Structure 1
Amino acid sequence: MARAVFGATVADYVVTPSDGQWGIGANLPITFWDAINEGAQYTDLQDLSGTPITEVTTNSVGSIPQFLGPDGVTGMWVEAGGGARVWMEAHDTGGGGGGPAGSVTDWLNVKEYGAKGDDASDDTVAIQAALDACPMGGIVYLPAGAYRTSAPLTIPPAVTLQGTHTNLMAVEDLVDPPCYIKPVPSFVGGAVISFLDEIDGGYSTISAEHRILNVMIDGSDLTEPGTDGIRARGNIQNVGLRDVTVLKVTGAGIHTEFNGGFYPYSWRLHRVMVDNCGWHGFAHEVMTDITLIDCQAIGNGASGFELSNCANSQMVACRAEWNTGNGIHITGDWATGTGSGGMLLGGCSTDRNGQNGVLVDAVGNPPIQIENLLTRRDGRNNGAGGGGYAGLACDGATVPVIVGMVTCYPGTDDDGSQESSPQYGARFTDCEYVSVASGFLHAAEAGWSDGGGNAVLRRGLNIAERVGTTADPVDAFAPPTDVAGNLNVGGYLAAASGQSGGQWNIWDGSAKALNLGSGGGGIAIAEGANARMGTSTLAAGTVTVANTSVTANTRVMPFRQAAGGTLGHLSVTKTPGTGFTITSSSNTDTSVVAWLLLEPA
């Protein structure tokens, strides 16, 4: 019979049935038995090279290394230093190829492949060996440690690289556990971790289903410019990143791009932090169906999130702070065909980005939907403020931009230095269609700014503005509302005052279709050249009034305003497009007459 493979999985830290979690100390000898109490000790063991051993010593982090059990045995009781025994099962029964000692395991510990994790040794070859040996669906495990690398690590399709802990960011005097991949200064390559597509990787099928979990990349020692944290080129689908941090690489934190006519597709990023990288935090080029949840880009050298045609995608509860460029930049050609699609930003926030908090300058026809956007202190502009920047900016966008709620709050750096920014709370210039339903916009110069050139810019009823400092703001809580098209109001509309630049229509069929308020209310009509109301004086019982607005159907209503001479009856004759003549039956009538012009509906 074959020997089974034991050890080197996370499950080997905890065993069953009765002891619950059972921790193993570092560098501790352990023995194996055929019974929970007393019984016979198994001493017919082998290491992975086939050398006979009688016991196994845990490694520096307390993990049980891989070994081969007795012939035909698939489970043993484990004893560490005379304590209570616990049950361990084999996780591979041997006989396969590809891994150490001919075994096939679905959980590979990089330290069993020679990785040190001591913050000094070059672990590139060892980690890559584990990745290459891992079967599809398996996990390559990074125990706690600092793993130095000198070249890119490539994760094959359907393989998971999993660590123990990810720091959210690097801050002096905070706890900094050694749990990361850290390229050496002489590192050469385009990215610390790479995903290869079918073309570059030589795979027989589409490259897909890679995973990175609980892994931190610390690029603070990198010297070569343009080195990304994680890069994918070409048709690489259904990748998942969870609890991943990329720190201080010289390129982008996460970078997906074109290769051979194809782009990466349908990724899921949860709790991914990109901190102080040299280029964009997240740079996604034509990434259809991407989902970003609770991701953060802080202090990066360009935009926090650079999203160029991410059709049918979602960005939820993400943060962009202190980036040199825009916090979130929605750009590129989003196309016009049936395969194109827009994007939803929900519950996202920005703070103290160098340019706009959110900038939309994308072209195409799919709608970009923004809900519950919180912007704060953006438009830092190297501390000078101004620059035409805004919390939310749309500039030259042909995609429809639909905004539910947006807020903006100005401010300075955390220590109170530098100028207050942004200049505008929300600014819209040369866009095809923008609709903002509600918001509270406080900025240094103007809360709401129409930069001109917009085909349709709709401003909702519930948008308040403030200008000036946060300590002494000037309120503009009742600004004008711009509604293009029809406004349908159920019930009635009450307005303190109003005006219209277009025609009014009342469709009610009752006798009182138009009611003019209470006593003292009335109608005022402008007088002057070609006006619809005015006065004239009869001379020898007649007067001709020039008025080009008169039509064949115009109803001219004359009446005496002030009597003069011998009074007579008044009559009217019209000359359409020219005017009308008022004549008295008395040729000595010199009265002042008034007239009103009406048209039939």
Structure 2
Amino acid sequence: MPRYTYGGGIADYLVQPRDGLWGVAPGATVTFYSTAEGGVQYTDLIAAGGTAVAEITADEFGLLPEFQGPPDVTLMWASAGGAARVWMKPRDADSAAVASGSVRDWLNVKDYGAQGDGNTDDTIALQAALDDCPMGGIVYLPAGGYRTSAPLTIPPAVTLMGTHSNLMAVPNLTDPFCYIKPLATFEGEAVIFFVDEIRGGYATISAEHRIVCVMIDGADVAAPGVDGIRAAGNIQNVMLRDVTVRRVTGAGIHTEANAGRFPYSWRLTRVMVDNVGWHGYAFEVMTDISLMDCQAIGCGANGFEIANAANSHAIGCRSEWNVGNGWHITGDWATGTGSGGMLFSGCSTDRNGANGFLVDATGNPVLQFENIHTRRDGRNNGAGGGNYAGFACNGATVPVIVGLLTCYPGVDDDGTQENSPQFGARFTGCTYVSVDAGFLHADTAGWSDGGGNAILRRGLNIAERVGTSDTFVDQFAPPTDVAGNLDVAGYLAAASGQSAGQWNIWAGQAKALNLGAAGGGIAIAEGPNARMGVSTLAAGTVTVANTSVTANTRVMPFRQAAGGAPGHLSVTKNPGVGFTITSSSNTDTSVVGWVLFEVA
């Protein structure tokens, strides 16, 4: 039965998340136990030189000299006489376990002294299990309530798994609870913290962390700005599945930079963030993220705050009853070859305080929105109005492409407060926005052009309603606005049409403009400076004032009604002033018509 080696260096016993290394006074007597509280004292120890001892004395620096523990014991809880014991790991247990093929890849936190009774501070026990878990292994949380006083750090390639996560804390729910619940005395930036290789001192890139079936309940947290899960730096390929974060005072899930590097390539599936103090999800430059069936509800700021998530997608995600925007797509998405856009598909909103979606991102990548459903947004503390919309773009320089977009208005669930949103979709100061189809029902206007847009394209199949959900006015056939080119393959059949711009027909054939029905014709307005009109000759001549005449204008006169002695008609132009029609007969008093043509 092997004995494993403890002590002999500052890295051989627990590093507490808050206070750094566990330290004892020089010359202190340290005893060892089987559990964090109670348990059996280990007295079968071997000091340096082979002396049998029951306790170890710290050196002049407060460090423990090298010694061997009892046979086959691979962890002990050390006590220096204080209120709490500290978990210690032998220096050579991992290598011995690997050599013998006995590495445990499923670690139960109860084996490390965790109580899970909803009262005991289990921070040290949980961290001990996480630190002891080999890469690829699982730290298991049996049903229970695990209280913590400091952040837990999950090492690379380690899975933290519970029995289940409730999407919300339902009163009188009878299923056994399973959660990590920070104490009111909690101190730290986040309940769970992922650290990169710089902060963690890892030999490899910090990657492949996993949290599965875990609920974080921050209802007792008093300190401001405590996130549920936070990651800083180059932390890759994290997976969160069936995770709930509720009631923390900061963000539900928060990623940020460290040393100029950002988290990368995360997968979030069935993740719920419920009533946290800040954004539900706060992602900063999160490349290659996948959000699938994720929800933010009742958050103190925006549901989803996404500042550059190149090459990412959100599928079937929901944002409801948040104080700010449901979704805020913002930040600099860059312009280089490494930049990229994001796809939002099948995502929805409901009763957010500001816009359902707000896009004000800059850069060149395309943001694509397909099958977007917005409902009752723009609550604005119950007052409605505020220029809020189900879908809003404000100052976005990224191209925004929207497929099918719907908006539906409403009030609070109890029927109180004002109808909102004010607009179904509103666009202001954007570079390029195209909306293909939709049904936009809002309080004031379904579609709103706030001005300053370089290109705003409205598709042919967008209907509008205004008013409340039960008393409304249909606007099913407003003008269709198409800026730029409209290419139609085949025939364009229209009952009527109007244009305020120039028409060009490029077909190189005789019948480029063909009025094919009997009775069809061309009508040209007459009047001052018009392109068609009639005049009467006096003594064989008449001068017509028309400033639209140029040197290249073709003036075509014709006799409308004969008078006097008709002669042959000719024209003399005075560009910018008009033209004179002259008959070869100075007694010609005919009424003549004329049409002006320009050279293409």
Q: Same fold (TM over 0.5)?
A: yes
Which amino acid is the alignment partner of residue 502 of structure 1? G
Query: How far apart in 1 are the matches of 2:460 and 2:313?
Result: 27
Q: Deviations over 1:223-274 (max 9, x none)?
A: 1010000011111111110000001000000000011111111111111000
Q: 1:319 to 1:499 in 2, by over 3 A?
A: same
Report the equivalent of 2:444. Answer: 445
Q: Residue 255 of structure 1: SS of its match in structure 2? A: strand
Moved more, 494-503 or 228-237: 494-503
CA shift, 1:485, in A, is 2.0
Q: Residues 510-521 of structure 1: matches in 2 within 5 Å? A: 510-521=509-520
Query: How far apart in 1 are the matches of 2:97 and 2:184?
Result: 33
RMSD: 2.3
Q: Deviations over 1:488-533 (max 9, x none)?
A: 2122111121112222233344443323253433211112232211
Query: How far apart in 2 are the matches of 1:98 and 1:303?
Result: 48
In the alignment, is the contact (CA less than 8 A) between 1:167 and 1:176 conserved in 2?
A: no
Report the equivalent of 2:169. Answer: 170
Query: How far apart in 2 are the matches of 1:143 and 1:173?
Result: 21
Q: Residue 127 of structure 1: SS of its match in structure 2? A: helix
Q: 1:467 to 1:48 in 2, by over 3 A?
A: farther
Which residues of structure 1 form unaligned runs of 5+?
Answer: 4-46, 52-67, 70-93
Q: Residues 168-247 of structure 1: matches in 2 within 5 Å? A: 168-175=167-174, 177-247=176-246
Q: Deviations over 1:166-193 (max 9, x none)?
A: 0001233444531000111111111000
Query: How far apart in 2 are the matches of 1:149 and 1:141?
Result: 16
Report the equivalent of 2:591. Answer: 592
Q: Residues 463-474 of structure 1: matches in 2 within 5 Å? A: 463-474=462-473
Query: How far apart in 2 are the matches of 1:556 and 1:565?
Result: 23
Query: How far apart in 1 are the matches of 2:585 and 2:97?
Result: 121
Q: Residue 131 of structure 1: SS of its match in structure 2? A: helix
Query: How far apart in 2 are the matches of 1:279 and 1:301?
Result: 5
Moved more, 485-494 or 347-356: 485-494
Q: Residue 590 of structure 1: SS of its match in structure 2? A: coil
Q: Residue 126 of structure 2: SS of its match in structure 1? A: helix
Report the equivalent of 1:80. Answer: none
CA shift, 1:537, in A, is 1.9
Q: Residue 130 of structure 2: SS of its match in structure 1? A: helix
Query: How far apart in 2 are the matches of 1:509 and 1:195?
Result: 67
Which amino acid is the alignment partner of residue 521 of structure 1? G
Q: Residue 559 of structure 1: SS of its match in structure 2? A: strand
CA shift, 1:471, in A, is 1.1
Q: 1:48 to 1:511 in 2, by over 3 A?
A: farther
Which amino acid is the alignment partner of residue 374 of structure 1? H
Q: Residue 243 of structure 2: SS of its match in structure 1? A: strand
Which amino acid is the alignment partner of residue 360 of structure 1? V
Query: How far apart in 2 are the matches of 1:456 and 1:181?
Result: 50
Report the equivalent of 2:432. Answer: 433
Report the equivalent of 1:456. Answer: 455
Report the equivalent of 1:74. Answer: none
Report the equivalent of 2:500. Answer: 501
Query: How far apart in 2 are the matches of 1:168 and 1:533?
Result: 74
Which amino acid is the alignment partner of residue 544 of structure 2? V
Q: 1:124 to 1:558 in 2, by over 3 A?
A: same
Q: 1:215 to 1:355 in 2, by over 3 A?
A: same
In the alignment, is the contact (CA less than 8 A) between 1:398 and 1:433 conserved in 2?
A: yes
Query: How far apart in 2 are the matches of 1:331 and 1:446?
Result: 25
Report the equivalent of 1:118. Answer: 117
Report the equivalent of 1:319. Answer: 318
In the alignment, is the contact (CA less than 8 A) between 1:131 and 1:140 conserved in 2?
A: yes
Q: Residue 564 of structure 1: SS of its match in structure 2? A: coil
CA shift, 1:152, in A, is 0.7
Q: 1:489 to 1:201 in 2, by over 3 A?
A: same
Query: How far apart in 1 are the matches of 2:199 and 2:208?
Result: 17
Query: How far apart in 2 are the matches of 1:49 and 1:487?
Result: 84
Query: How far apart in 2 are the matches of 1:286 and 1:296?
Result: 20
Number of residue pairs matched by the alignment? 517
CA shift, 1:575, in A, is 3.3
Q: 1:164 to 1:582 in 2, by over 3 A?
A: same
Asked if 1:475 is matched to 2:489, the reply is no
In the alignment, is the contact (CA less than 8 A) between 1:314 and 1:343 conserved in 2?
A: yes
Report the equivalent of 1:105. Answer: 104
Report the equivalent of 1:55. Answer: none
Query: How far apart in 2 are the matches of 1:50 and 1:142?
Result: 30
Q: Residues 184-583 of structure 1: matches in 2 within 5 Å? A: 184-583=183-582
Q: 1:176 to 1:391 in 2, by over 3 A?
A: farther
Query: Alignment identity in percent?
Result: 77
Query: How far apart in 1 are the matches of 2:264 and 2:507?
Result: 56
Which amino acid is the alignment partner of residue 479 of structure 2? P
Query: How far apart in 2 are the matches of 1:351 and 1:121?
Result: 39
Query: How far apart in 1 are the matches of 2:492 and 2:187?
Result: 69
Report the equivalent of 1:27. Answer: none
Q: Deviations over 1:322-356 (max 9, x none)?
A: 00000011001111111111111011000000000
CA shift, 1:588, in A, is 2.3
Q: 1:174 to 1:410 in 2, by over 3 A?
A: farther
CA shift, 1:49, in A, is 7.7
Report the equivalent of 1:42. Answer: none
Query: How far apart in 2 are the matches of 1:489 and 1:340?
Result: 33
Query: How far apart in 1 are the matches of 2:43 and 2:432?
Result: 72
In the alignment, is the contact (CA less than 8 A) between 1:541 and 1:583 conserved in 2?
A: yes
In the alignment, is the contact (CA less than 8 A) between 1:98 and 1:133 conserved in 2?
A: no
Report the equivalent of 1:17. Answer: none
Which amino acid is the alignment partner of residue 559 of structure 2? R
Q: 1:454 to 1:48 in 2, by over 3 A?
A: farther
Query: How far apart in 2 are the matches of 1:440 and 1:49?
Result: 73
Q: 1:399 to 1:95 in 2, by over 3 A?
A: closer
Which amino acid is the alignment partner of residue 394 of structure 1? C
Q: 1:570 to 1:95 in 2, by over 3 A?
A: closer
Moved more, 567-576 or 299-308: 567-576
Query: How far apart in 2 are the matches of 1:402 and 1:529?
Result: 45
Moved more, 325-334 or 586-595: 586-595
Which amino acid is the alignment partner of residue 342 of structure 2? M
In the alignment, is the contact (CA less than 8 A) between 1:191 and 1:229 conserved in 2?
A: yes
CA shift, 1:596, in A, is 1.0
CA shift, 1:107, in A, is 0.7
Which amino acid is the alignment partner of residue 330 of structure 1? I
In the alignment, is the contact (CA less than 8 A) between 1:211 and 1:239 conserved in 2?
A: yes
Which residues of structure 2 form unaligned runs of 5+?
Answer: 4-39, 45-70, 73-92
